[in-house]
Amino acid sequence: MSDSAFWRELGQQLRVDSIRSSDAAASGHPTSSMSAADLIAVLMANHLHYDFDKPDDPRNDHLIFSKGHASPLYYSFLKAAGAITDDELLTFRKLGSRLEGHPTPVLPWVDVATGSLGQGLPIGVGVALAGKRLDQLPYRVWVLCGDSEFAEGSIWEAFEHAAFNGLDNLTAIIDVNRLGQTRETMHGWDLRSYADRARAFGWHAIEIDGHDVDAIDRAYTEAAEAHDRPTVIVAKTKKGKGASEVEDKEGKHGKPLSDPKKAIEELGGERSLTVSVAKPTGNAEPHRIEAGDVSWPQWGPDDEVATRRAYGDALAALGSERTDVVALDGEVSNSTYSELFAKAHPDRYFEMFIAEQQLVAGAVGLQVRHYRPFASTFAAFFSRAYDFVRMAAISRAHMCLAGSHAGVAIGEDGPSQMALEDLAIFRAIHTSTVLYPSDPNQAAALVRAMADYPGIAYMRTSRGATPTIYGPDDAFEIGGSAVLRSSDEDQVTLIGAGVTLHEALKAADELSAQGVAARVIDLYSIKPVDEETVRQAAADTGAIITVEDHWPEGGLGDAVLAALAEVENVRVHKLAVTGMPGSGKPTELLHEFGIDADAIVAAAQDLVRTPAGAK
Amino acid sequence: MSDSAFWRELGQQLRVDSIRSSDAAASGHPTSSMSAADLIAVLMANHLHYDFDKPDDPRNDHLIFSKGHASPLYYSFLKAAGAITDDELLTFRKLGSRLEGHPTPVLPWVDVATGSLGQGLPIGVGVALAGKRLDQLPYRVWVLCGDSEFAEGSIWEAFEHAAFNGLDNLTAIIDVNRLGQTRETMHGWDLRSYADRARAFGWHAIEIDGHDVDAIDRAYTEAAEAHDRPTVIVAKTKKGKGASEVEDKEGKHGKPLSDPKKAIEELGGERSLTVSVAKPTGNAEPHRIEAGDVSWPQWGPDDEVATRRAYGDALAALGSERTDVVALDGEVSNSTYSELFAKAHPDRYFEMFIAEQQLVAGAVGLQVRHYRPFASTFAAFFSRAYDFVRMAAISRAHMCLAGSHAGVAIGEDGPSQMALEDLAIFRAIHTSTVLYPSDPNQAAALVRAMADYPGIAYMRTSRGATPTIYGPDDAFEIGGSAVLRSSDEDQVTLIGAGVTLHEALKAADELSAQGVAARVIDLYSIKPVDEETVRQAAADTGAIITVEDHWPEGGLGDAVLAALAEVENVRVHKLAVTGMPGSGKPTELLHEFGIDADAIVAAAQDLVRTPAGAK
pLDDT of residue A614 exceeding 60, the answer is: no
- Please indicate whether, in this complex, the C-beta atoms of A387 and B383 are within 8 angstroms of each other: yes
Rounded to the nearest angstrom, the minimum Cα separation between A473 and chain B is 33
Q: For residue A568, is it left (φ>0), alpha (ψ between -120 and 50) or beta?
A: beta
A96 contacts in chain B (CB < 8 Å): 582, 584
Interchain contact, B182 vs A339, CB within 8 Å? yes
Tell whether A561 lies on the interface with B, counting CB pairs under 8 A.
yes
Question: Would you tell me which residues 449-488 of chain A have a C-beta closer than 8 angstroms to some C-beta of chain B?
Answer: none
pLDDT of residue A412: 96
Q: What predicted TM-score, i.e. pTM, was given to this entire model?
A: 0.98
Composition of chain A by helix, strand, coil, percent to 5: 40, 15, 45
Distance from CA of A285 to the nearest CA of B (A): 32
* Selected residue of A234, A329, A377, A383 to mutate for chain B interface (largest B Cβ count, 10 A): A383
Average pLDDT for residues A338-345, to the nearest whole number? 97
Element spanning A4, H or E: helix A3-25
Q: Which residues of A touch B545 (CB under 8 A)?
A: none
**Which one, of A612, A601, A599, A532, lies nearest residue A572 by Cα?**
A612
CA angle A588, A383, B408 (to 5 degrees): 130
Predicted pLDDT at B528: 98
**Chain A residues within 8 A of B568 when measuring between CB atoms:** 568-571, 612-613
The nearest alpha carbon in chain B to A28 belongs to B413
Using a CB-CB distance cutoff of 8 angstroms, which residues of chain B are in contact with residue A381? Answer: 116, 387
Confidence (pLDDT) at A282: 85
User: Do A345 and A327 touch, CB atoms closer than 8 A?
Assistant: yes
Nearest to B348 by CA among B372, B376, B380: B372
Angle between helices A597-609 and A499-513 (to 10 degrees): 50
Taking contacts as CB-CB distances below 8 angstroms, the residues of chain A near B570 are: 568
User: Which residue of A152, A164, A191, A328 to mutate against B (max B Cβ within 10 Å)?
Assistant: A152
Task: Give the one of A106, A386, A566 whose C-beta lies nearest to B572's C-beta.
Answer: A566
CB B400 within 8 A of CB B324: no
Chain A interface disruption, residue of B21, B156, B578, most A CBs within 10 A: B156
* A407-428 pLDDT per residue, tens: 999 999 999 999 999 999 999 9
B383 touches chain A (CB under 8 A): yes
| Distance (Å) from the alpha carbon of A184 to chain B's nearest alpha carbon | 10
| Contact: A113, B415; criterion CB under 8 Å | yes
Chain B residues touching A421 at Cβ < 8 A? 390, 425, 428-429
Average pLDDT for A47-58: 97
Interface check B269 vs A, CB under 8 A: no
Residues A507-519 have pLDDT tens digits of: 999 999 999 999 9
Ranges of residues in chain B with a pLDDT under 50 are: 615
| Amino acid B179: pLDDT | 97
B280-290 core/surface letters (b: 16 or more CB in 10 A; e: else): beeeeebeebe
pLDDT single digits (tens) A559-589: 999 999 999 999 999 999 999 999 999 999 9
B520 min Cα distance to partner chain A (Å): 19
Task: Give, in order, the Cα–Cα distances in Å from B46 to each of A70, B221, B224, B277, B279.
Answer: 53, 9, 12, 8, 11
Residue B290 is predicted with a pLDDT of: 79
Please state the rounded mean pLDDT for residues A224-230: 95
Looking at the complex, does the CB of residue B558 fall below 8 Å from at least one CB of chain A?
yes
pLDDT of residue A613: 55
Which residues between 295 and 334 in chain A have a beta carbon less than 8 angstroms from any beta carbon of chain B? 331-334
Give the pLDDT confidence of A484-512 residue by residue, as tens digits: 999 999 999 999 999 999 999 999 999 99
Distance of alpha carbon B55 from alpha carbon B48, whole angstroms: 13
Whether A260 contacts chain B with CB within 8 A: no
Q: Does A164 sit within 8 Å of B95, measured CB to CB?
A: no
| Chain A residues near residue B612 by CB distance under 8 angstroms | 568
On the question of pLDDT at A548 being above 80, the answer is: yes
Q: Which of A100, A152, A207, A356 is catalytic?
A: A356
Q: Do B386 and A381 touch (CB under 8 A)?
A: no
Least CB-CB distance to A421: which of B381, B429, B589?
Answer: B429
Give yes or no for A565 touching B (CB within 8 A): yes
Compute the distance between CA of residue B36 and CA of residue B238 in angstroms, rounded to an integer.
Answer: 8
Q: What is the pLDDT of residue B611?
A: 65
Flag whether residue B551 sits within 8 Å of chain A, measured between CB atoms: yes
Most B-contacting residue of A74, A94, A95, A112 (CB-CB within 10 A), to test interface? A95
Q: Is A553 in contact with B558 (Cβ distance < 8 A)? A: yes
CA distances from A398 to A110, A322, A366, A369 (A): 15, 16, 10, 11
Of B101, B575, B572, residue with least CA distance to A564: B572
Confidence of residue A394 (pLDDT cuts 50, 70, 90): very high
C-alpha–C-alpha distance, residues A336 and A378, integer Å: 7
Q: Is B549 on the interface with A (CB under 8 A)?
A: no
How far is the C-alpha of B601 from the C-alpha of B506, rounded, in Å? 9
Q: How far apart are CA A481 and CA A39, in angstroms?
A: 54
First to last CA, chain B: 83
Q: Would you state the pLDDT for residue B612?
A: 62
Tell me whether strands A571-575 and A170-176 are parallel, antiparallel or unpaired.
Answer: unpaired
- The interface residues of chain B toward chain A in range 194-253, judged by CB-CB distance below 8 A, are 196-197, 199-201
Residue A356 is among the residues annotated as catalytic for this protein = yes
CB B335 within 8 A of CB B471: no
The end-to-end CA distance of chain A, in Å, is 83
Q: Which residues of B touch A114 (CB under 8 A)?
A: 416
Q: Residues A148-196: pLDDT tens digits?
A: 999 999 999 999 999 999 999 999 999 999 999 999 999 999 999 999 9
Which chain A residue has the Cα nearest residue B122? A153
A251-308: pLDDT as tens digits: 999 999 999 999 999 999 999 999 999 999 988 889 988 877 889 999 999 999 999 9
